[in-house]
Structure 1
C-alpha cells in the first residue's frame, strides 16, 4: 500500500506530465480568433444589411424556419410586445401583404391549439434570422437534402 507522502509526490507529477502532453499537441490547433490573446476582444463584426426584396428563399433542410427578408434591427420583441405579429399575425397579415405565422406556432407542447401564439414560439428570432449576403465563416461541404435540390 502506498504511503500518504508518496501519494502527495506522485499526484503532482502525473498532473504535470498530462499538461506537458496536452501542450505539445496544442501547436497545431487553429482558431477563428487568429493569434489574438484570449484576454483581448476582437472588434465586433458587423452583419451586412439584409438582402431586401429577394422573395421567398429556398430552404435547405426539412423544417428549416423561413428567413426574414427585411431589416429587424430595433424591432421590439419582449414579454409585452412582439412587433413581428403586427404584420405576420393572422389578424393583420392579409392587410400588410405578409406571410401569416404558421398554425404550428399556435400549438402548445401537447399539440393543443391555443387562441394566441404559443409562449414557446413567441420570440421569433430564436429560429428565424434575416437573410444576408454574408459569406461562410468556415468552409463546409453541406448539401441540401435531396428532396429540396
Structure 2
C-alpha cells in the first residue's frame, strides 16, 4: 500500500516537473535581459514608418495604424492634435481621412455633435508603425488564404 503511494507520488512529481520544463522551453522571451538584475543599455528606438501610405488591415475592425510621425503631438483632456486634421470639418483642407462615424457615437449608438469622450484619446487604439522585428512569429491566416470564398462567389 505504501509502495503504491510512493509510486503515485513519484509519478505526480515527474509529471509536474516535465510540464514545468516543457512550458519553460516553449514560452518565448519577449524582452529584458537574461539576468534581470544586470544593468544594461537600452536598445535603440526603432525607426518609425512615416511614408503616409495607408496600410491594409490584418483583420476586420482593426484600428488603422498611424502612417506618420506623432512625435510632439499633444493628447490631453484639453487638446487633441489629431483632430486638427482628422475631424470631419478639417479633412477637406488637410486631405487626411476622416475619423470613423463610430467615433461620434455613444455606447448606446446615439449620435453626438462632437467626438465621443470614450474615443477622444486616439493612441489608446491607433499606434504608429515601426520598422522592427516581431516579438513572436505571426501565424495568422486570413479566411481568403484558407480558401473561403466571399458570399455570392462562384464555386
Give the TM-score, by structure 2 length.
0.69
Query: Could you tell me how far apart the structure 2 residues matched to 1:34 and 1:86 are?
Result: 38
In the alignment, what sits opposite 1:48? 47
Query: Could you tell me how far apart the structure 2 residues matched to 1:117 and 1:138 are?
Result: 35
Distance 1:103 1:52, change over 3 A: same
Q: Gaps spanning 5+ residues in structure 2: where?
A: 1-12, 145-149, 151-155
Query: Could you tell me how far apart the structure 1 residues matched to 2:73 and 2:124 are?
Result: 14
Report the RMSD for the aligned CA atoms in angstroms: 2.8
Query: Could you tell me how far apart the structure 1 residues matched to 2:80 and 2:32 are?
Result: 39
In the alignment, what sits opposite 2:113? 115
How much does 1:108 deviate? 0.6
Residues 1:142 and 2:140 are matched in the alignment: yes
In the alignment, what sits opposite 2:4? none
Map 1:90-101 → 2, pairs under 5 A? 90-101=88-99
Give the TM-score, by structure 1 length.
0.72
Per-residue CA distance 1:119-148 (angstroms, 9 max, x = gap) = 11001011111123322122231123426x
In the alignment, what sits opposite 1:61? 59
Q: Gaps spanning 5+ residues in structure 1: where?
A: 1-16
**Could you tell me whether the CA contact under 8 Å between 2:46 and 2:131 is conserved in 1?**
no
**Could you tell me whether the CA contact under 8 Å between 1:76 and 1:83 is conserved in 2?**
yes
Distance 1:145 1:100, change over 3 A: same
Aligned with 2:29 (options 28, 31, 34)? 31
Distance 1:145 1:119, change over 3 A: farther
Query: Could you tell me how far apart the structure 2 residues matched to 1:139 and 1:130 are?
Result: 20
> 1 or 2 for the larger relative contact order (CA 8 Å, sep ≥6)?
1
**Could you tell me whether the CA contact under 8 Å between 1:71 and 1:130 is conserved in 2?**
yes
